[in-house]
Amino acid sequence: MSNEQQTPIATASTSGVTPSSGAQAAPAAGPTKSLSPAEQSALRDEVIEALRTCYDPEIPVNIYELGLVYDVEISVSGEVHIRMTLTTPNCPAAISLPGEVEWKSRDVPGVAGVKVEVVWDPPWDPSKMTEAARLQLGMF
């Protein structure tokens, strides 16, 4: 997890909805199982694999290798919190990509809910890409 401050610009969540009228979302049915640290780690790995199937439509590299995903946290209840960014604030995928990240993560077995937080601080730059991504894009 980065020590740099991150400024959220938008969030999406499937763990429950709290309408502006003040009504609360219904709690999940049945008792919730607490995940062990090993189960949290395994679930995190599975979520990351799901994120590797998400692509910025303008760049032929997945968003994880591009360095757009800053953090993936898994709570003991299986809630997933993803902090991510986009290549630029004017990215055409600004509307669709966070939603895709949310639903692909939610579809991972064992995930109880997902919150996707898009942040602009720290800003993305090519140094955040993995070596494999730089090689794939011809950026040596």
- φ and ψ at residue 31, rounded to 5 degrees: -70, 150
Question: What is the side-by-side strand order in the sheet with 79-84?
Answer: 8-13, 113-119, 79-84, 69-74
CATH code given to domain 35-135: 3.30.300.130
pTM of the full predicted structure? 0.77
Q: What is the pLDDT of residue 32?
A: 64
pLDDT at 131 over 90: yes
What distance in Å separates the CA atoms of residue 97 and residue 102, rounded to the nearest whole number? 9
Q: Which residue has the higher pLDDT, 31 or 55?
A: 55
What distance in Å separates the CA atoms of residue 117 and residue 80, rounded to the nearest whole number? 11
Nearest to 111 by CA among 45, 43, 54: 43
What distance in Å separates the CA atoms of residue 114 and residue 129, rounded to the nearest whole number? 24
**Angle at CA 80, nearest 5°, toward 137 and 50?**
40
- pLDDT tens profile 3-13: 444 444 444 44
Q: Where are the domains of the chain?
A: 35-135
* Helix (H/G/I), strand (E/B), else coil: 133: helix
Give the percent of the chain with pLDDT over 70.
77
